[in-house]
């Protein structure tokens, strides 16, 4: 069972979201200065390669440099043009959380718990699946779990997470209740193809049967969460 309460973000939570947005924007949409730097690097590289090939093939450094510069300028101009990328979903959701200024507190009462270590042939990491109701599975993953796990306080039968409503980013975890042992479930006979996103902590609620986690992780919805959109 999950009870959800809304509140305003704290200053620390708002700052965390702002830093994540800034980092994602820098990655998704490089600045003009960065693109000009790439252009210059390709231009210089083209001149060097052109001079070498020109001397080898045409026995002329000058011709090679000119042809290399021309190709480098044409190719390098691609990096100077404004990017036409779509805004990543993760960035859009974080911006939505930033604009709303809201946070949620999820009060969770779990019946069972398992993890990738139990049901997947993949690297061990701080992640858990909780059965929280009929056809309700809560997936938690990320650094916020590491310290409670080390101290033996998590996973537990009751806990609270503070999170961003749209993006699902988890700000904090407060453990309650009794320790909950991991349940053995049907193993999934494959490796996830890509590594999970680094850094953040995330909570996502899925509609799924507890005995069919293998079917859950084969869905696009879970794959997107695993990759943090």
Q: What is the pLDDT of residue 61?
A: 59
What residue spans define the domains of the chain?
2-26+88-226, 32-80
DSSP string, the chain: -EEEEEEEPPHHHHHHHHHHHHHHHHHHS--HHHHHHHHHHHHHHHHHHHHHHIIIIIS-HHHHHHHHHHHHHHHHHHHHSPP-PPPPHHHHHHHHHHHH-EEEEEEEE-SEEE-HHHHBSS---SEEEEEEETTEEEEEESGGGHHHHHTT--SEEEEEEEE-TTT-BEEEEEEEEEE-PPPP---B-S--SSPPPPS--EEEEEE--GGGHHHHHTSHHHHHHHTT-
What pLDDT, on the 0 to 100 scale, is given for residue 109? 93
73 CB burial (10 A radius; 0-12, 13-18, 19+) = middle
The pLDDT of residue 210 is 85
**Taking the complete model, does pTM exceed 0.85, yes or no?**
no
Query: Residue 94: which residues within 8 A CB-CB, separation 6 or more?
Result: 17, 20, 21, 24, 164, 166, 167, 169
* Local confidence pLDDT in tens for the 229 residues of the chain: 899 999 999 999 999 999 988 887 777 665 556 566 666 676 666 666 666 666 666 666 566 566 666 666 666 655 555 555 566 778 888 999 999 999 999 999 999 998 876 555 444 457 889 999 888 999 998 888 888 888 888 999 999 999 999 988 999 999 988 888 888 766 555 445 555 555 678 888 998 888 887 778 777 777 777 666 4
């Amino acid at each position: 069972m999950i009870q959800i309460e809304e509140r305003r973000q704290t200053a620390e939570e708002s700052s965390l979201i702002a830093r994540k947005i800034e980092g994602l924007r820098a990655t998704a949409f490089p600045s003009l200065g960065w693109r000009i730097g790439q252009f210059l690097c390709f231009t210089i590289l083209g001149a060097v390669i052109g001079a070498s090939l020109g001397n080898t093939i045409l026995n002329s450094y000058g011709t090679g440099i000119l042809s290399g510069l021309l190709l480098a300028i044409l190719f390098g101009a691609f990096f100077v043009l404004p990017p036409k990328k779509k805004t990543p979903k993760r960035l859009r959701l974080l911006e939505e959380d930033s604009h709303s200024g809201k946070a949620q507190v999820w009060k969770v009462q779990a019946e069972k718990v398992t993890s990738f270590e139990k049901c997947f042939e993949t690297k061990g990491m701080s992640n858990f699946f909780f059965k929280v109701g009929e056809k309700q599975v809560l997936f938690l993953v990320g650094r916020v779990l590491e310290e409670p796990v080390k101290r033996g306080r998590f996973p537990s039968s009751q806990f609270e997470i503070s999170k961003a409503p749209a993006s699902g980013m988890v700000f904090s975890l407060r453990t309650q209740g009794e320790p909950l042992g991991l349940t053995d479930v049907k193993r999934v006979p494959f490796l996830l193809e890509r590594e999970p996103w680094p850094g953040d902590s995330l909570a996502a609620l899925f509609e799924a049967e507890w005995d069919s986690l293998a079917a859950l992780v084969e869905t696009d919805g879970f794959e997107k969460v695993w990759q943090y959109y």
